Chain A
Amino acid sequence: MGANGSYVIDDREKGIFLLDRSVHVDNDILKREMTTIFAKCWIYVGHGSELKKPGDFHTRNVAGRPIIFARDAKGEVRCLFNTCRHRGAIVCADRSGNSRRFMCVYHGWIYNTDGTLARVPGEDAYTEAFDKTTLGLKGPAKFDNYKDFWFLNLDPGAPSLRDYLGKTTEYIDLVVDQSPSGKMEILPGTQEYDVAANWKLMVENSVDDYHLPSTHSTWLNFMKNSGVKVEPPKEPGLVLPTKGYAVDLGNGHFTTDNVNFRGRPVAAWIPLYGEAAKPEMDAIRAELVQRLGPDRATRVCDTNRNLVIFPNLVINDGSSVTVRAFYPDGVGKMHVTAWALGPIEESETARARRLDAFLTFYGPGGFATPDDVEALEMVQKGLANWQDDRWTEMSRGMGREGGEQLNSDEFHLRLFWRKWDAMMGEHA
């Protein structure tokens, strides 16, 4: 640890930023993260579209907590702790489904989908002090949504979700604007995979465009083979085919904002999609121009944005749209869940194109993500020398801080670490 109990050395005069590698390997730090980060921040639970009908539910682990994400009988979206009030067993073992009740198999206590306790077998054995109305399933202190993206907060004193999200909503809106009705949905099929690396390495990786030419040369080669121009422009400092920026969104949130070169289902055609896709993609773009005006339609169609909502939600709007959340499972391992997101009114052909485009880059069988996973696992292995090789170098682009910040700089990575470090210091 550096001076003042801080895990970073942030020398803005010299333009040097160093990160203490203990943050990725120290078990005590992980324990404190669970209380100072995951129990204080708004944490993504799921999307309302995953709960189409009353009674629909998904069980998940969110920030280490087993929860039920459900739509109750009245249609309200709920987040319930999956823990029986009697002896503590989970009350729902199914991963997802539709149910009128959740029954604990241990002693048969039954809960409604809004969490209220419906039935206790042999209720006459209790005194009058036993009050069923106080024994509903508990839930997080706060639970709220922005445009059907639902988040929980375990801290009763937390700011509102809207205040927490701050300027990230502008970037969520750019994604949601793909839909003429403003309604997006999570598509069937979930990619869930572990990475043998600390969870924070995925935050860095999700927005670090510096790694693209070296980690993803086989993907760039595939793009080239598919008729996409991948040579970087002849401008000093640029390592990517087009220019992109890193943008500070406050509260530890940030995004990349890049001029597209790789094709986008909405709606930038590349040869990979085939000639037959052109008329439909032209029509998708025309609808956007008509609805949003030419400038905003260009923002929606021709920019790629990898958005990080602190601490562990990433929305990538690039080759396709992916919503990705990840949680630590021990200090050297994380569990990743990735979904595809699309407009609810999308045609069958556009939907198929979106899913195919997703797999060109993203996911455990994609042409890029497996190499990201490999890189992160190689970092975690290398960090075993942390006690004798203590500091990670993260100063790229620091001389320009305050000015233009490129996506291939490390400005946005530093934003994450400054926020993380401040929170860990505050609650030390």
Chain B
Amino acid sequence: MSAASIRAEVEDFLFLEADLLDNWKLKEWEALLADDATYQIPANDDPEGDFRSSLFIIADDRERIHQRIIRALDPNCHAEHPKSRLSRIIGNVRIASAEGDLVTATANFIVNRYRRYERTFEYVGHCRYVLKRDGASFKIKERRMTLKSHELGSLGSVSFIL
């Protein structure tokens, strides 16, 4: 398969994922995850860090992601009640490697978050995905979102799925 066609497939997948996350369809999003999926956001000042030795903002294994979804959808998740409105743009998608049934892809993201009718936040960064082929689509094995800002600062919390 050509590099361009793999990229097109991955782009389609990432755009689907973005749509689910923007619309809080987290159970549908969960169906995109492999059984060993991880979701990581390293600290802004240690973007290359390993979550086993560096304090991250988020370092979820599969079960923790499941618990995070339960929490995020609970009306008592005060940080997300009422739900933030989200709109994300995924761009600059590149295939870093494609071997066997595994594809590693990188992309840039801009996630706009609108909160309580008045505050807006712009989460900008770089992401890295390890995807496993699953029939005509993929499952997410690793999803690492790295924020570009020097600190989280005025972005406050990451209480939604970035």
Query: Which single residue of chain B is at the shortest CB-CB distance from A195?
Result: B156
> Interface stretch among A23-31, A218-226, A287-295?
A218-226
Q: Binary interface profile of B, 141-162, with partner A (CB < 8 Å = 1, else 0)? A: 0000000001111111111000
State whether the Cβ of A352 lies closer than 8 Å to any Cβ in chain B: yes
Give CA–CA (A217, B150) in the complex, Å: 32
A218 touches B59 (CB 8 A): no
Stretch of B9-17, B23-31, B39-47, B125-133 with 4 or more beta carbons under 8 angstroms from chain A: B39-47
> Are B152 and A221 closer than 8 Å at their CB atoms?
no
| Pairwise interchain contact A192-B70, C-beta atoms closer than 8 A | no
Q: Are A374 and B57 in contact (CB under 8 A)?
A: no
Neighbouring A residues of B45 by C-beta, 8 Å: 95-96, 189-190, 192
Q: A190-B55, A339-B55 are in contact. Are A367 and B67 (CB under 8 A)?
A: yes
Contact B57 A221, beta carbon cutoff 8 Å:
no
- Tell me whether A225 and B153 are in contact (CB under 8 A): no
A275 within 8 Å of B by Cβ?
no
Question: What range describes how many residues of B lie at the interface?
Answer: 35 or more
Residues of B within 8 A of A339 (CB): 55
Decide if B89 is an interface residue (CB 8 Å cutoff). Answer: no
Q: Is the CB of B54 within 8 A of A187?
A: yes
For A192, list chain B residues within 8 Å (CB). 44-45, 151-153
Residue A191 interfacial (CB < 8 Å): yes
| A248 interfacial contact with B, CB 8 Å | no
Is B35 part of the binding interface, using a Cβ–Cβ cutoff of 8 Å?
no
Closest to A215 in B: B78
**Do A370 and B157 form a contact, CB below 8 Å, given A189-B56, A221-B74, A363-B57?**
yes
B contact residues around A219 at 8 Å (CB): 71
A189 touches B55 (CB 8 A): yes
Closest beta carbon of chain A to B47's beta carbon, Å: 10
What 0/1 pattern do residues 344 to 372 of A give for CB contact below 8 A with B? 00001001100110110001110101110
B147 to chain A, nearest CB (A): 11
Q: Is the CB of B155 within 8 A of A193?
A: yes
A286 interfacial contact with B, CB 8 Å: no
Indicate whether A193 sits within 8 Å of B156 (C-beta atoms), given known contacts A225-B67, A226-B67.
yes
Cβ B157 vs Cβ A364 within 8 A? yes
Residue pair B55, A221 in contact (C-beta under 8 Å): no
Taking the complex as formed, is B79 at the interface, i.e. its CB lies under 8 A from any CB of chain A?
yes
Is B62's beta carbon under 8 Å from chain A?
A: no
User: What A residues does B55 contact at CB under 8 A?
Assistant: 187-191, 339-340, 355, 358, 363
Q: Are A355 and B56 also in contact (CB < 8 A) when A225-B67, A373-B157 are?
A: yes
- Please measure, in the bound complex, the distance between the C-alpha atom of A26 and the C-alpha atom of B153, giving whole angstroms: 23
A148 within 8 A of B: no
A194: CB under 8 A from chain B?
yes
A370 touches B159 (CB 8 A): yes
> When chains A and B are docked, how far (Å) is the Cα of A335 from the Cα of B154?
9
Question: How close is A49's CB to chain B, nearest CB, in angstroms?
Answer: 14
Is residue A73 contacting chain B, with contact meaning CB distance below 8 A? no
B49 at the binding interface (Cβ < 8 Å): yes
A281: Cβ under 8 A from any B Cβ: no
Check if B68 is an interface residue, CB within 8 A of chain A: yes
Q: Which of A340, A348, A364 contacts B152 (CB 8 A)?
A: A364
Q: Of the candidates A193, A218, A335, which one forms a contact with B77 in the assembled complex, judged by CB atoms under 8 Å apart?
A: A218
Q: A188-B49, A364-B57 are in contact. List 5 more A-B contacts (CB 8 A).
A: A189-B45, A193-B153, A364-B155, A365-B157, A370-B156
A sample of 11 inter-chain contacts (CB < 8 A) reads A95-B45, A188-B49, A189-B54, A190-B55, A191-B43, A191-B57, A193-B152, A351-B53, A355-B52, A371-B159, A373-B157
4 closest A-B pairs by CB: A189-B55, A189-B43, A370-B79, A192-B151
